[in-house]
Amino acid sequence: MEKEQTLVLIKPDGVKRGLVGEIIRRLESRGLKIVALSMEWPTKEQIDKHYPKTRKWIEGLGKNTAKSYKEFNIPSTLLEDYGTDNLHEIGKKVREWLIEFIISGPIVKMVVQGLHAIKMVRKIVGPTVPAFAEVGTIRGDFSIDSPDLANIKRRAVHNLIHASGNKEEAEYEISHWFTKEELNSYSTIHEQFMTQERNQ
Ligand code: ADP
């Protein structure tokens, strides 16, 4: 279980704001281990393949958009702003904005390993909407962005990081961004103490 791996992308806002070191520091200081790391300027195709294309996921983006219209009392309607109130169509639009945003600059991609790494990284990162993220999380400490502004400006929410949501996503995303040979195997001092048997 201490070998669980997850994929983390520092999005262009994180790179351009000089937060790469801070983000890595927060992951490492919690006791997680970086086993692969590099910077690249992603292509549209790479990001298109990274994010799911299932109806459920795309509709989820549409639902979140509709929710933020209600939550923030946005005066215009979805129909006025998107030309449709079909949640799948709206989700497709948000997915396009997301891709445009992530190809707008270089990203840092990494594989992070450790005990409950998938959940632990999400906890350190905080929830999707920075405006709702607790202080102490990366999104809560370094971004104030909110979908009411993002939706009106027709762009993705700038929330610094992508982190895999579950085991299946993590496995797929790691294999999408890295080859097996690029994943390093080593043990940290911290890990050696954590995995030591009693009386040793
Ligand atoms: P997370 O990145 O926290 O796993 P999702 O998978 O739901 O969140 O969404 C993917 C990304 O799409 C988010 O990180 C954010 O950048 C963007 N996004 C999500 N919902 C919206 C929205 N309603 N409006 C604009 N961008 C959004």
CATH assignment at residue 155? 3.30.70.141
Mutate which of 7, 10, 51, 98 to test ligand 1's pocket (most atoms within 8 Å of Cβ)?
A: 98
The Cα–Cα gap between 123 and 17 comes to 22
Tell me, yes or no, if the pTM score tops 0.75: yes
Paired tokens of 182: 């690029």
Residue 155 CA, closest ligand 1 atom number: 25
Total domain count, the chain: 1
114 part of a folded domain = yes
Place of tokens 């909110």: 146
The tens-digit pLDDT sequence of the chain (200 residues) is 779 999 999 999 999 999 999 999 999 999 999 999 999 999 999 999 999 999 999 999 999 999 988 888 888 899 988 899 999 999 999 999 999 999 999 999 999 999 999 999 999 999 999 999 999 999 999 999 998 899 889 899 999 999 999 999 999 999 999 999 999 999 998 888 887 877 65
59 part of a folded domain = no
Residue 151 CA, closest ligand 1 atom number: 24
158 part of a folded domain = yes
> Parallel, antiparallel, or unpaired for β 107-113 and 161-163?
unpaired
25 part of a folded domain = yes
Domain range spanning residue 18? 5-51+105-199
The Cα–Cα gap between 18 and 13 comes to 9
137: nearest Cα among 18, 23, 37: 23
Reduced DSSP (H G I as helix, E B as strand, rest coil) percent helix, strand, coil of the chain, to 5:
50, 15, 35
The Cα–Cα gap between 35 and 3 comes to 11
